[in-house]
Amino acid sequence: MPIGLQLIGPAGSESHLLALADPVAPPFEWPTLALRPD
């Protein structure tokens, strides 16, 4: 399980999974999702 997915809560899990599945996802979304307090 990706560290980012562990850091974020259920509120952002789906978005993070989509970002991981999308190879063309903007790089700026990775740190944003990983640092989300939710």
Q: What is the pLDDT of residues 1-38, one digit of tens each?
A: 454 444 454 555 555 555 555 555 555 555 555 555 55
**Predicted local confidence at residue 36, as pLDDT:** 57
* Residue owning tokens 């952002």: 12
Structure letter (DSSP) for residue 27 = T
Give the pLDDT of residue 1.
44
pTM, entire model: 0.17
